[in-house]
Amino acid sequence: MTKRKLYTKEFKQGAVRLVTEQGRSQSDVAKNLGIAQVTLSRWIKAAKEEGKSAFRGNGKRTADEQEILELRRRIKELEQEREILKKAATYFARHLA
C-alpha cells in the first residue's frame, strides 16, 4: 500500500500561481513539480471556487459548513424538545380530563 503524499498549502498555492499568473501549461508545471496533472487541475479548481479559503486541510470546515452543522444540531435539539412536549401534553390531557 502506497502512502498518500501530503503537500503544504504554500506548495499548492505556488503551483496554482505558476499556471494562473505566469501562464505556464498545467502539464509542464505538473511534470516539473513531480505531481499528477489531475492533482494540479483539482488544486486550480479549488483555488477558483474557494479563493483564499482553499487548501484548509483535513477536517477544517468553511464558515458556511460550520454554520450548517450547528443549525442541523439545533434542529435536532428542537425536534427532541417538541417530541417531549407532545408526550407531556398527551399525558396531562389523559390525567386531567
* Contacts with 63 (C-beta within 8 Å, 6 or more apart), sequence order: none
The string over 75-92, giving b where at least 16 C-beta atoms fall within 10 Å of a residue's C-beta and e elsewhere, is: eeeeeeeeeeeeeeeeee
- The model's pTM is 0.58
| CA pair distance 85, 97, nearest whole angstrom | 18
81 has pLDDT over 90 = yes
Phi and psi at 15, nearest 5°, equal -65, -40
68 has pLDDT over 70 = yes
Grid cell, residue 26, equals 498545467
